[in-house]
Structure 1
Amino acid sequence: MAKIDFRNKINWRRRYRSPQGVETEREILRIFESDRGRIINSPAIRRLQQKTQVFPLERNAAVRTRLTPLP
């Protein structure tokens, strides 16, 4: 199995915060959205796009893909 270098996966701004440690809410949200976008657009998540997920005995009988948000 290939070894994963997690240092390349971590947002560098999160690892090397300013010495004061104070970040604005806008910057925190921007970093979060950046990480979220990288996860959502990753090939591993996109492979789930065409997969059907069925929940037995559920009140809502709708069929969802794995990327459809739960109610």
Structure 2
Amino acid sequence: FEEGFRADLIVEGKVILELKSVERVTAAHRKQVQTYLRLTGCRLGYLLNFGGDVMKGGITRCVNGLEE
């Protein structure tokens, strides 16, 4: 698949930012970021959800190899 996985932003080849605008972040969203981390070899990713009332509650930190 040439376009099977496409992260929203990769910063300096080290950090993945996945952007969402949903009412609630699900386990599938978190798993998506973990998959991107595993496939790219990046260690750190952030799932940023702009769909909530406050941005602070919409930030999820993900670390490669660290399952929650």
Q: Which has the higher contact order (CA 8 A, sep 6+)?
A: 2
Computing the radius of gyration over CA atoms, which structure comes out larger, 1 or 2? Answer: 1
* Normalised TM-score (structure 2): 0.32
More strand by proportion, 1 or 2?
2
TM-score by length of 1: 0.31
